[in-house]
Amino acid sequence: MTSSKAEPPKSAIFDSHGWLSGNNPSGFFSDAALRAQLIRNDPGKLRVRTNESYFKSKASLILVDHLARPETGDQDFTALNQLPSVIATGEPSQ
């Protein structure tokens, strides 16, 4: 007996909007770790894929930012000080 599991799609079709991300749609896709390509013969439509799908790599679900290293005594807690701003606005404080 064979399994008939359907594979999830590797891309999605997206109606592009120039106003997206402050009139910077390519910046939006880059910030979201997505690849977007115009669909030939279909103006305003984009084929969108994740970077992992595009590069055929594994997803990086967890990122580690070493704030302190006990072996060297290095300490940089700047990232923690910026958390309230990131949570409130999505951007680090300047």
Please write the tens of the pLDDT for every residue from 40-80: 888 788 899 998 888 888 887 777 777 777 776 777 777 77
**2 in a domain, yes or no?**
no
User: Is 42 found in the same domain as 24?
Assistant: yes
**4 in a domain, yes or no?**
no
**What's the pTM value of the predicted model, to 2 decimals?**
0.52
Range of the domain at 36: 10-58
How many structural domains is the chain composed of?
2
User: Is 68 found in the same domain as 51?
Assistant: no
User: Is 14 found in the same domain as 54?
Assistant: yes
CB of 37 closer than 8 Å to CB of 44: no
The predicted pLDDT at position 26 comes to 82
The tally of CA atoms less than 13 A away on the side-chain side of residue 25 is 15
CB count, 10 Å around CB of 74? Answer: 10
User: Is 54 found in the same domain as 15?
Assistant: yes
